Amino acid sequence: MSSARHSGVLLCASMLLGGLAVRGGRAEDVLQETKEARDARMKWWREARFGMFIHWGIYAVPAGTYKGKRVGGYGEWIMNRARIPIPEYEEFAKRFKPVKFNARAWVKVAKDAGMKYMVITAKHHDGFSMYDTQVNDYNIIKATPYGEDPMKGLAEACREAGIRLGFYYSIMDWHRPGEGRRYIPEMKAQLRELVAKYDPALLWFDGEWVGWWKQSDGRELARFLRELKPDLIINNRVGKRGPEDGDFGTPEQTIPAAGLDYDWETCMTMNDTWGYVSYDNRWKSTTVLVRRLIDIAGKGGNFLLNVGPTAEGIIPSESVDRLREMGAWLKVNGEAVYATAAGPFKRLPWGRCTVGRGRLYLHVFKWHGGPLEIPGLENTVKKAYLLADPRRAALAVTRSDGVVSVAVPAEAPDGIAAVVALEIDGQPRVARYRISQSDDGSVLLEAAYAEVHGTVARYEVGGAKDSIGHWTNRKDYVTWDFMLKRSGTFTVEITIACDKGSGGSEYVLAVGDQKLGGKVRETGSWSTFVTEKIGTLDLARAGEYTLSVKPRTKPGLAVMNLKTLLLRPAGGPGK
C-alpha cells in the first residue's frame, strides 16, 4: 500500500482515538448506560439464544494438511502449528477461489436451523482480511483470484432474511510479527470500515491474550466502536475476557456448570475444528447439539455453533444435515428456547427447564413413561401439556410431599428432547431442594443434585455419563446438602469412572468434622463406572448435613467422573 494512503489511514484513525462524544457541549461516555438502555440494546441478542459461527479464510486451502502431512489441531491455526513462513502462507491466498460461495445459500442454512444471528471471521489470527478493506492489500479482493467481497453479499442476504450479522476480528495478527501496539491505528481503521460498510449488529473479538493488549485498550476500543454505532454489541474478548469486559462472556467449547451471573454465550465446534480440516470427521450428533442448546438456554446463555466452510465456499454437508435437524426440532419447540430465561431448578435428573411467557418449559431427555416428577415446585400449575401437541391437550397434574407429578404419555413425542409446558401462577417459586433419606435409611447423592464449585468441572448428561466430569481443575470441588431423619453409622460407597492414564488422584470426602480419604483408580474409560466402599461415617444427629468431595492431588488429565455417593446404614437397611 502506498505510504501516502497509509499515512492517510493513520491520520483518519488517530482522529477517532478520542472516543468521547460531545453532545450539547457535554462529553458523554457511551459506555455509561442505564440498565434500561442496556437491556434495550441487548434485547434481540438475549432473545436470539442461537447463532452461527463461521470460520472461513485462506487456511481452508491447506485444510489441515501441509507438505503432505496432517498438521492436526484447529484448521485456522495451521500457519502457527506448522510454522509456515509468512511468504509461503501468503501463497494460499493465490489459491483461494471460492467459486461455489453463495451468500443466500449460507444464510438459508442458518435460517432453516433456527439461528437468529451469524458471526463470521472478517480477519483471523493470520491477518488475512476476508472483506473489501482499503487499509492494506492482504485481503480477498487484492490478494486472491476470486476478487469479490463475500461480506457484502452476506450482509444483504442477512438483511433480507432478518438475521443479524456480526464480525469476528482477531486482535492478534501473525502477519505483523513484532508490530504489537503499532498496528492499533490500522486495526481501528479496519473496524471503522467494517461498521461503515456492513452495519454489523455485533463484533466478536479474539486473540486478546497477546501481552501488548491491555484491558484498558479494550475499554477504549469498545468506546470507539460504540461511538460509531451506539447499539453495537461487543463480546468480552475486546478486553481480557473478564466479566467486566464488553457485553457478554464467551466460554468456549464448554458450558458453565451453573451458567454465569452475567450475559454469556458458549461457542462450540460441530466437529473438533473451527476452520475447515478435510479429515476432521468427529461430528457431534444432532441429539448432542440440541441438548447442548437446551442446556445452555436452561442456564440463560446463547449458543454460537460453528461451521467451517471449504476453500470452494461450501459448508460441509455434515454440518448442513445437523443444522437442518436442529431446525426441525426448533420448529416444534422453539417457543421453549427463544426469548426464555434460565430455569429455577438447581438440577433436574431427567433434563432441563427454561422459563418464559408465564410457563415453565420442561425439556425431557430421559423419558421414563411414568409420571414426570418436578421436585420442589411451589407454584400452582394451571395447565400442563406437550408442546408438540397442536391441540395442547391438558395432562393430569398431582402434588404429593412437595413433588409435582405430570401424567405424561408412555411414549416420548421426541427422542431428542420432549418439552412439557407448565402454565404457572406468577414467577417460578422453587423450594430449596434438599436430598432426603430413603425409607431403607440410605442417602443417595447424585451428580444431578450436586453443587459444583469452581471453573471447569460440570454436571455432564448423556450416554453413560450423568456425572460430574470435565474435572480438570484440582481446585474445583462438589458438595451435596442433605437431610437425615435417622442418625447412625453409614458405609460410604462411591461410583466413579476414570480413563486409562488419568488414575491416582487423591480426594477427601468430608461431612462436618469427619473425613474419609480416597484414591481414584482407573476404570478403563470416562464412562466405565465402578462402585467401591471408601469407609464409614458416624452421623450422630438427625438434621441437615453438607458432604463435600475435594481433590488433594491430580496427577492425570482429570480427577474423575463422579456419578453417585451412597450412604448406607452400616447395620443393614432401615437400621
The bridge status of strand 488-497 relative to strand 561-569 is antiparallel
Q: How far is the CB of 318 from ligand FHN (least distance, A)?
A: 19
Grid cell locating 173: 495478527
Q: How far is the CB of 170 from ligand FHN (least distance, A)?
A: 7
Let me know: does 31 contact 219? Beta carbons within 8 Å: yes
Nearer to ligand FHN, 172 or 520 (CB): 172
Let me know: does 132 contact 139? Beta carbons within 8 Å: yes
- Rounded CA-CA distance 376/404 in Å is 8
- Rounded CA-CA distance 61/276 in Å is 9
Q: How far is the CB of 266 from ligand FHN (least distance, A)?
A: 10
Let me know: does 185 contact 13? Beta carbons within 8 Å: yes
Kindly list the distances between the CA atom of residue 161 and the CA atoms of 80, 105, 109, 117, 164, in Å, as whole numbers in the listed order: 37, 11, 11, 10, 9
Please report how many Cα atoms fall inside a 13 Å half-sphere around the Cα of residue 502, on the Cβ side: 19
Nearer to ligand FHN, 134 or 472 (CB): 472
Q: Which of 59, 74, 329, 365 binds ligand FHN (CB under 6 A)?
A: 74
Nearer to ligand FHN, 138 or 169 (CB): 169
Q: Other CB atoms closer than 10 Å to residue 295's CB: what's the count?
A: 24
Judged by CB under 6 A, the stretch of 70-78, 101-109, 447-455, 563-571 that binds ligand FHN is: 70-78
Classify residue 43 as exposed, middle or buried by CB count within 10 Å of its CB (0-12, 13-18, 19+): exposed
Let me know: does 54 contact 118? Beta carbons within 8 Å: yes
Nearer to ligand FHN, 47 or 252 (CB): 252
Judged by CB under 6 A, the stretch of 74-82, 175-183, 327-335, 338-346 that binds ligand FHN is: 74-82
Q: How far is the CB of 251 from ligand FHN (least distance, A)?
A: 10
The H or E element that residue 8 is part of is helix 3-15
128-146 in b/e form (b: 16+ CB < 10 A) is bbbbbbbbbebbbbebbeb
Q: Other CB atoms closer than 10 Å to residue 528's CB: what's the count?
A: 15
**Counting contacts by CB under 6 A, is residue 76 touching ligand FHN?**
yes
Q: How far is the CB of 267 from ligand FHN (least distance, A)?
A: 5
Nearer to ligand FHN, 310 or 536 (CB): 310
**Counting contacts by CB under 6 A, is residue 126 touching ligand FHN?**
no
Residue nearest to ligand FHN (CB): 274
Nearer to ligand FHN, 50 or 77 (CB): 77
Q: How far is the CB of 391 from ligand FHN (least distance, A)?
A: 43
Let me know: does 403 contact 374? Beta carbons within 8 Å: yes
Q: Which of 501, 543, 498 is nearest to 525 (CA)?
A: 498
Q: How far is the CB of 174 from ligand FHN (least distance, A)?
A: 11
Q: How far is the CB of 115 from ligand FHN (least distance, A)?
A: 17
Ramachandran assignment for 180, one of left (phi > 0), alpha (psi -120 to 50 degrees), beta (any other) = left
Q: How far is the CB of 206 from ligand FHN (least distance, A)?
A: 5
Judged by CB under 6 A, the stretch of 71-79, 139-147, 156-164, 543-551 that binds ligand FHN is: 71-79
Grid cell locating 61: 486451502
Number of residues located near ligand FHN, criterion CB under 6 A? 7
Nearer to ligand FHN, 252 or 378 (CB): 252
Kindly list the distances between the CA atom of residue 347 and the CA atoms of 1, 139, 374, 432, 434, in Å, as whole numbers in the listed order: 58, 48, 10, 11, 11
At residue 307, φ and ψ (nearest 5 deg) are: -125, 150
- Rounded CA-CA distance 460/469 in Å is 6
Interface residues for ligand FHN in 195-214 (CB under 6 A)?
A: 206
- Rounded CA-CA distance 270/303 in Å is 12
Count helices and strands in the chain by DSSP H and E runs: 10, 31
Q: How far is the CB of 304 from ligand FHN (least distance, A)?
A: 8
Nearer to ligand FHN, 56 or 74 (CB): 74
- Rounded CA-CA distance 507/165 in Å is 47
**Counting contacts by CB under 6 A, is residue 338 touching ligand FHN?**
no
Q: How far is the CB of 273 from ligand FHN (least distance, A)?
A: 9
Interface residues for ligand FHN in 153-192 (CB under 6 A)?
A: none
Q: How far is the CB of 57 from ligand FHN (least distance, A)?
A: 10
Q: Which of 274, 329, 507, 526 binds ligand FHN (CB under 6 A)?
A: 274
Q: Which of 30, 267, 297, 311 binds ligand FHN (CB under 6 A)?
A: 267
Grid cell locating 303: 449458543
**Counting contacts by CB under 6 A, is residue 252 touching ligand FHN?**
yes
Q: Other CB atoms closer than 10 Å to residue 307's CB: what's the count?
A: 27
In one-letter notation, the amino acid at residue 369 is G
Per-residue x/- mask for ligand FHN, residues 463 to 492, rule CB under 6 A? ------------------------------
According to DSSP, the residues that pair with 205 across neighbouring strands are 169
Judged by CB under 6 A, the stretch of 3-11, 69-77, 145-153, 318-326 that binds ligand FHN is: 69-77
Nearer to ligand FHN, 76 or 446 (CB): 76
Q: How far is the CB of 81 from ligand FHN (least distance, A)?
A: 11
Q: How far is the CB of 269 from ligand FHN (least distance, A)?
A: 8
Judged by CB under 6 A, the stretch of 72-80, 468-476, 481-489, 555-563 that binds ligand FHN is: 72-80
Judged by CB under 6 A, the stretch of 73-81, 188-196, 431-439, 440-448 that binds ligand FHN is: 73-81
**Counting contacts by CB under 6 A, is residue 264 touching ligand FHN?**
no
Nearer to ligand FHN, 74 or 385 (CB): 74
Q: How far is the CB of 403 from ligand FHN (least distance, A)?
A: 41
Q: Which of 194, 203, 201, 226 is nearest to 21 (CA)?
A: 226
Nearer to ligand FHN, 48 or 364 (CB): 48
Q: Contact residues for ligand FHN (CB under 6 A)? A: 74, 76-77, 206, 252, 267, 274
